[in-house]
Amino acid sequence: MDVGKRLRQLRDQCGYSQNNLAERAGVAQTHLRNVELGKADITVSHLRLICDALAISLKDFFNVDDEQEELSAAISRLSPKQKRILLDFLKTI
C-alpha cells in the first residue's frame, strides 16, 4: 500500500486541505505534503494523530479493498467540475 496516496485519498474524501489536516492533527504541513508525495516516511504516532483528525482508526486507514481503491483513483483524476457532476448524479440514485 502506498501510504501517501492513501493519506491523500482520505484527506480529499474529508474535504481537508493539507494545511487544514496538518493543523487538526498537529503535524507540520510540509511533512504531510512530503509523505503524500512519497518523499518522506511517517511514524506510527504521526499517522495515529492524522487518523484521529480524519476520525478513522489505524485499521480503517489500512483496510482498503481493490474496488474502492480503483474507484478512488478514478475520482481523483476528475476535474473539480466533473467531481461536482458525479456527486450530483450519485445523489440521484
Q: Is the pLDDT of residue 5 over 80?
A: yes
Using CA atoms, how far residue 65 sits from 19, 21, 69, in Å, is 28, 24, 6
Using CA atoms, how far residue 16 sits from 8, 21, 65, 67, in Å, is 9, 6, 23, 23
Q: What is the total residue count of the chain?
A: 93
Residue with cell 494545511: 19
Specify the pLDDT at position 24: 96
Q: Is the pLDDT of residue 49 over 90?
A: yes
Q: Which three cell numbers stand for residue 85?
A: 457532476
Q: What is the pLDDT of residues 63-72, one digit of tens each?
A: 866 677 778 8
